[in-house]
Amino acid sequence: MSTTTTYNEYVKLDNSEAGFASQMHANLDLIDATTAKMERSAVRAPGVGDDVDDGYSAGSIWIYAGGPNIYVCESAAQGAAVWRQVWPVTAVGADIDFGAYEVRAQTFESDVATGTAPLAIASTTKVANLNADKLDDLEGSAYMVKSLIAARGDILTGSAAATPSVLTKAARGGILCAGADDPAYLTKGNQGAILYAGADDPAYLAVGAKGQVLATQGASANPVWLDRTPGLYHNAVVNPQFEVNQRGIDHYTSATNPANNDDTYTIDGVNLLSDGNNIVDVYQITTPGQYPVGSRTCMAFQVVTANHKAGFVVLFNSSDSIKYAGKTASLQFKARTLAPYTINNVRAEIISWSSTADVLTSDPINSWEAQGANPTLVANWTAENTGSNLALTDSFQILKIENVAIDTASMTNLAILVWIDDTDCAAGDLVYFGDIQLNEGPVCLPFMPRSYMDALNACYFTFFQMDSRDDVYTFFGPGQAVGTTSARAVIVFPTPMRADPAMTVSADADFVLQKGDSTFEAVTSGMSDSRCTRFHGRISPATAGNLVAGDATALLSNNKTTAWIRFSAEL
């Protein structure tokens, strides 16, 4: 008997030998057991349910004639079979997932159009030996190359050319800044110079003189050096927030004393000017929310008689004015109107008096002129700047007139003139003024308020009022009887006045003389008979009798809150 065993352990018998048929059956069983199930004519593609329960195992082949596609079973796990398509490699429009396997080839070529990335990479691990033509859409020549740097401290910069350029290191202290096109160095300034942002490039402000201070000029302007200007030179206005109002009238009208007439002092330091009498009422505003932030008062004009101009002038005594001669000055104030009672524009000028010092015309207006034209001034008054429209809004804004040359020959006094330019004002229209300042120098310095006591004491220099607002028997001053019907009383001023003042009183009947026995004698006349010096006022009140010459007396208000005595040395 001749037998042969193959390398697959099949037993091959000579077909004439006994047992041939049984051995053939055994060989077939062995082949079936070792050969994976094959689906040769499937009518569909395999799925997860084509698994071990159906006789499939790893290596099973599934031929889907409808594709045609050929699949190989990777895993026949029950209910989770995995089949891989092996031919064709991929169907048109379908994706291939090779799982955890590598794909190798000599050349990878993508034919996807620009706008779609040819590769999608999840890993951030560095790829060794990757040689690419561009990085972030830029050629390699666009990147700085260390070999271009000539010396230590040089800087490589991008340029319009393909190759980066080298910015040579500047001298010590130079500052690198962005130029119009390329970066550049700003040469170091001298010691003490100030670096600031210019309109385009940064720049240095040269060193100022000793004692000068640095001042900004607002948006779109460069800083400047200014001479230090404390006190008067910072703000010449003695009542800049209109806080001092010794006359005690919060609403000046045609019925008050003083009335709202042209060329009339109202709030301390404010001389009302108008194209006729009773053109505007003057208010001292003390209602919160109606005055500028940082103040507690302001002044307001309300039109009474329509279609007329009005304004005010602040006059400075010669001793203060002369310090501005030959220099520059800047004026600022806050103003607003109030819709619907709108005033459109105000104007302002710094004016100079060129005649006898402190003997001036208190109303500088000769002719108000038409809307849009500045007033014609009386003789010896000269405008140092030309007034122009300063538009008003519903909110307080700072209005400025800067760098005004005070160059009128023989200037002896200065003044601030502010006026409403509109000639179409309606009754009820309103304008508010606050925080006024005149300072030396080409720009307006930050507003400098005065303390109330500082402003009050400064106002006493030109005006002093005693009144009985707080006590119906206010003590005005001591005195002495000089006869049975006459006496003398003295009022000492809190500070020496600018000149011997003029005195006015509310009325004789508003006063009494208190005698040594505490009885009173009504004043019948003589309150206007006064002799005043810069230091005191002497009054000669008279009574109906009952005085004893030589006896001490005291001048009091006569059970009234409306008694007043005013001493004015106002210009």
pLDDT in tens, 114-136: 878 777 787 888 888 777 767 77
Highest-scoring range by mean pLDDT, 121-130, 148-157, 172-181, 270-279: 270-279
What per-residue confidence (pLDDT) applies to 402? Answer: 95
The C-alpha angle with vertex 110 and arms to 104 and 114, in degrees rounded to 5, equals 150
Answer yes or no: is pLDDT of 100 > 70. Answer: no
Q: How many angstroms from the chain centroid is the CA of residue 525? A: 61
Q: Are 531 and 538 within 8 A, CB to CB?
A: yes
- Burial string for 379-391 (b: 16+ CB within 10 Å, else e) reads ebbbbbbebeebe
What per-residue confidence (pLDDT) applies to 25? Answer: 65
**Bigger pLDDT: 191 vs 163:** 191
pLDDT tens digits for range 473-520:
999 999 999 999 999 999 999 999 999 999 999 999 999 999 999 999
What is the token pair recorded at 95? 């994706």
What is the C-alpha to C-alpha distance for residues 349 and 443, in angstroms, rounded to an integer? 15
What per-residue confidence (pLDDT) applies to 433? Answer: 98
What per-residue confidence (pLDDT) applies to 193? Answer: 78
Answer yes or no: is pLDDT of 44 > 70. Answer: yes
342 band by pLDDT with thresholds 50, 70 and 90: confident
What per-residue confidence (pLDDT) applies to 98? Answer: 60
Tell me the percentage of the chain whose pLDDT exceeds 70.
82
What is the token pair recorded at 554? 């005291």
What is the C-alpha to C-alpha distance for residues 316 and 438, in angstroms, rounded to an integer? 11
What is the C-alpha to C-alpha distance for residues 230 and 236, in angstroms, rounded to an integer? 10
Answer yes or no: is pLDDT of 301 > 60. Answer: yes
Instruction: Provide mean pLDDT across the span 285-293.
Output: 94
Domain 233-459 matching CATH 3.30.390.50: the answer reads no
What per-residue confidence (pLDDT) applies to 197? Answer: 78
DSSP state of 21: H
146 band by pLDDT with thresholds 50, 70 and 90: low
| Of the listed ranges 152-156, 309-313, 527-531, the one predicted with least confidence | 152-156
pLDDT tens digits for range 321-330:
999 999 999 9
Tell me the residue type at 441. Answer: G
Task: Out of 3.40.30, 3.30.160, 3.40.50, 2.60.40, select the CATH number for domain 463-568.
Answer: 2.60.40
**Bigger pLDDT: 177 vs 279:** 279
Answer yes or no: is pLDDT of 381 > 70. Answer: yes
If one counts every other C-beta atom within 10 angstroms of the C-beta of residue 531, the result is: 13
What per-residue confidence (pLDDT) applies to 22? Answer: 75
Q: Are 285 and 311 within 8 A, CB to CB?
A: no
Domain limits of the chain? 36-125, 233-459, 463-568
Closest CA to 276 of 320, 315, 309: 309
What per-residue confidence (pLDDT) applies to 376? Answer: 97
Answer yes or no: is pLDDT of 229 > 80. Answer: no
**Bigger pLDDT: 102 vs 545:** 545
Angstrom CA distances, 307 to 253, 329, 439, stand at 18, 32, 33
Instruction: Provide mean pLDDT across the span 136-160.
Output: 64
**DSSP characters for 384-435?**
SS----EE--SS-EEEEEEEEE---TT--EEEEEEEE--S-PPTT-EEEEEE
What is the token pair recorded at 550? 């030589």
Residue with tokens 């031929």: 63
What is the C-alpha to C-alpha distance for residues 519 and 569, in angstroms, rounded to an integer? 35
What is the C-alpha to C-alpha distance for residues 478 and 490, in angstroms, rounded to an integer? 6
Answer yes or no: is pLDDT of 91 > 90. Answer: no
Answer yes or no: is pLDDT of 261 > 90. Answer: yes
**Bigger pLDDT: 55 vs 456:** 456
What per-residue confidence (pLDDT) applies to 96? Answer: 66
Q: Are 569 and 499 within 8 A, CB to CB?
A: yes
Three-class secondary structure of residue 231 per DSSP: helix
What per-residue confidence (pLDDT) applies to 367? Answer: 97
Instruction: Provide mean pLDDT across the span 221-247.
Output: 82
What per-residue confidence (pLDDT) applies to 74? Answer: 92
Closest CA to 259 of 246, 269, 249: 249
What per-residue confidence (pLDDT) applies to 453? Answer: 96
What per-residue confidence (pLDDT) applies to 215? Answer: 74
| Of the listed ranges 83-87, 110-114, 245-249, the one predicted with least confidence | 110-114
Tell me what the pLDDT averaged over the chain comes to. 87
Backbone Cα Rg of the chain: 52
Tell me the residue type at 533. Answer: T
87 band by pLDDT with thresholds 50, 70 and 90: confident
Answer yes or no: is pLDDT of 254 > 70. Answer: yes
**Bigger pLDDT: 24 vs 369:** 369
| Of the listed ranges 99-113, 123-137, 402-416, the one predicted with least confidence | 99-113
What per-residue confidence (pLDDT) applies to 148? Answer: 61
Answer yes or no: is pLDDT of 346 > 70. Answer: yes
What per-residue confidence (pLDDT) applies to 224? Answer: 81
State phi, psi for 253 to the nearest 5 degrees: -130, -175
Answer yes or no: is pLDDT of 33 > 90. Answer: no
What per-residue confidence (pLDDT) applies to 95? Answer: 66
What per-residue confidence (pLDDT) applies to 278? Answer: 98
Answer yes or no: is pLDDT of 5 > 80. Answer: no
The half-sphere exposure of 417 on its side-chain side, counting CA atoms within 13 A, is 30
Answer yes or no: is pLDDT of 218 > 90. Answer: no
What per-residue confidence (pLDDT) applies to 319? Answer: 95
